[in-house]
Amino acid sequence: MPWYTLTPTDVWLFRDAKPFAPGERAWASGASFPPNGDAIAAAIRQLRQQDDHLTLRGPFLCRTQPQPELYFPSPLGFLGTTPLIPYPWHPQGDRIAALWDDNAPAPLLPPNLDQVPEANPKGDGKLRQYLPAAAIQTYLETGTIPDSHWRLGDDEDKEPWSQETRSHNAIQSETRTVKLADGYFVENAIRLHPNWALAIQLDCELDSPSTLRLGGEGHRAVLERCDPLDAQWQALQTQSHANFQRQDPSIAYLITPGVFERHHTSKNGHNHGFRTGRATCRPYPWEWKLAPSRHQNQPNPDQRDSGLVSFASGSAVPISRRLRQKNTSPNARDSSVPAPQVFAAPPGSLYYLNQPQPLYQDRDDINPKTRRWRQLGYSELLWVVPPPS
């Protein structure tokens, strides 16, 4: 699967599914950035002029100079630059045992309860929101991230883009004034900083360079092949797979929005995804059950219950999709309709498990509609070695 970068020719406009009407104080709500896999797949299909299913990874941020390097959302289970440890794994966890509700995810603690680190470490207090592949490689191997990777330079921002407010006016016919009704609305545009782009991995070959439409108002991006990113991704995947095979306490690190489908097992043993009348939105996978509490008090520590101990997450990410429908009329073209809005777990979420567990969406015997979430890049996980206690 080759890697490509998407570099904007100007700004990008992405909107969420919230309805709005032009008029006084009307804002067209902007969608989260980077855009979701549905938006990327739609742009690629339009470029190829083929209405087929794509498999992609990403999108991720990519710094193109001095050499291409992938950037990932910073893990959320940190206090400043200090990684947090769930209470059952903590050597001093018995000091707060009475404060923990056993029916809830375990609290997260700093490694040393006698020296609680500052939320904003000394210095300018500016920490990166996106970390380079080299920092993530170290994180997968050790569970920690060196302070040097967290620190921002004097000329850097927390995020490699800025928002620009754009107003849209409709002029009355035969006049030079804005319409009094339905004539004005405002929205936010995204402008990537110089030497930054989006990176995606696709299951198809595309002409490079190419120009495609991405986002609203006809804004475009230059698509270019970027082979150096493959070695970075393969190194991360190799370490992640090795961590998964250890079958020891591990941390699942979410690097794209997580959309988790419910599923059940029927009487004949087949798994099925719930799609009608069931909520899709949840901060952690439905198949990962909370583990029984207080593992360090068990007589035999080797007899751990596999399950989710705790997690660190943030505000949900709204995902606005469209469903393609086939029109049976002989001369009609395919159309699409708005799909119900989904709220995904934010990238950077961490899941602390006693043993690594696969995602239901990665199975081969599931509903194709459920597998589409993974094929569009959602719920991508990397497995991390827990930090030293």
Whether 36 and 56 have beta carbons less than 8 Å apart is answered as: no
Residue 271 has what pLDDT? Answer: 47
CB 37, CB 57: distance < 8 Å: no
Residue 99 to residue 294: CA distance in whole angstroms? 13
Predicted confidence at residue 98, as pLDDT, reads 61
Neighbour-count burial for 262-293, b at 16+ CB within 10 Å, e otherwise: bbeeeeeeeeebeeeeeebebbbbbbbebbeb
Annotate 88-138 with DSSP letters as a single string. GG-TTGGGGGGG--TTSPPPEE-S-TTSPPPSS-SSS--B-SEEEHHHHHH
Q: 263 vs 238, 267, 282, 359, 363, CA distance in Å? A: 29, 13, 13, 11, 12
What percentage of the chain's residues is helix, strand, coil (to nearest 5)?
15, 30, 55
Q: What is the pLDDT of residue 180?
A: 55
pLDDT value of position 287: 87
Q: Mean pLDDT in each 10-residue stretch from start to end of the chain (389 residues)?
A: 93 71 56 85 87 87 93 93 89 71 82 73 70 96 91 79 74 60 68 93 90 83 94 96 92 94 56 52 88 52 66 89 60 63 92 92 82 91 91
Element (H, E) at 162: strand 161-169
27-28 and 184-192 as β-strands: parallel, antiparallel, unpaired?
Answer: parallel
| CA distances, 224 to each of 68, 199, 281 (Å) | 12, 10, 34
List C-alpha distances in Å: 270 to 218, 278, 285, 363: 45, 18, 19, 12
Q: Which residue has the tokens 């198809």?
A: 204
**Does residue 148 sit in helix, strand or coil?**
helix
Q: What is the pTM of this model?
A: 0.85
Widest pairwise Cα distance in the chain: 85
What does the alpha-carbon distance between residue 244 and residue 252 come to, in Å, rounded to a whole number?
Answer: 9
3-class state of residue 283 by DSSP: coil
